[in-house]
Amino acid sequence: MRAPSPRLVAALAVSAGVALLPLARTWGLQWGATEAELDAPLPGDDIVPSPGVVATRGITIDAPAEQVWPWLVQLGQGRGGFYSYDWLENLVGLGIHSAQRIEPRWQELAPGDEVRLARSAALAVTVLDPPHALVLTAPDATFSWAFTLQPGRFRTTRLVVRERYATPQWWAAPVNEVVGAVSTVMSRRMLIGIRQRAQAAAH
């Protein structure tokens, strides 16, 4: 048999990549979440009632919710960071430095407070229910970011994080898709970073 031509190989590779894109997208937007968590309503869902993109991700942490909560409270630029890939965030000048310990100076948070993503971009605290739920919202209510702590099996805690992106204009759909893809990489690392820190502190 003749070997396939490079053009045919390239065409097959592109076709396979296109066919797998929906699977990769779904995996990224639902990483770590159970079917029940994907379907369950979470605090803050009503802020963006008709989202164009929803990402629900989860992770099990071997620590009680009371010991995970302080890591969530100190999220933010100029505070405890986001426990993700700091070097990637700082490539675009975000000035993120993820904390390795709980800092008392960052444990004060109240509804209406700002949590900065960057020096010139901030979300507002719209739900604060310790140690169960923290919801951050964009000023124009086109984005919500919910962090919830729920009892897991064998005295563990489930951290379930949900992002909801509105699509107010037709051009926002592709923008949200790109943001969602970046969020998959950064959020997965954030969840792992929170788990590592909380478990190390608990044990």
At 16 the pLDDT is 37
Rounded Cα gap, residues 143 and 155, in angstroms: 32
pLDDT of residue 175: 64
Q: What is the pLDDT of residues 97-144, one digit of tens each?
A: 999 999 999 999 999 999 999 888 999 999 999 999 999 999 999 999
Nearest in space to 106 (alpha carbons), one of 69, 132, 131, 139? 69
Q: Please write the tens of the pLDDT for every residue from 13-22.
A: 434 333 434 5
Average pLDDT over residues 78-91: 91
pLDDT in tens, 140-195: 999 999 999 999 888 899 999 999 988 766 666 666 666 667 778 889 999 999 99
For residue 50, is pLDDT > 60? Answer: yes
- Coil, helix or strand at residue 103: coil
pTM recorded for the entire structure = 0.84
Is 68 within 8 Å of 131 (Cβ atoms)? Answer: yes
167, with CB counted inside 10 A (0-12, 13-18, 19+), is middle
Q: What is the pLDDT of residue 10?
A: 44
Contact predicate 53/165, CB 8 Å: yes
What residues does 61 pair with on adjacent strands?
157
Q: List, in order, residues 6 or more apart from 153 with CB less than 8 Å away.
A: none
Confidence of residue 11 (pLDDT cuts 50, 70, 90): very low
Instruction: Specify whether the CB–CB gap between 135 and 144 falls below 8 A.
Output: yes
Domains of the chain and any CATH numbers: 28-202 (3.30.530.20)
Other residues' Cβ atoms within 10 Å of the Cβ of residue 10: 11
Report the SS3 class of residue 127.
Answer: strand
Q: Is the pLDDT of residue 27 over 90?
A: no
Query: What percentage of the chain exceeds 90 in pLDDT?
Result: 64
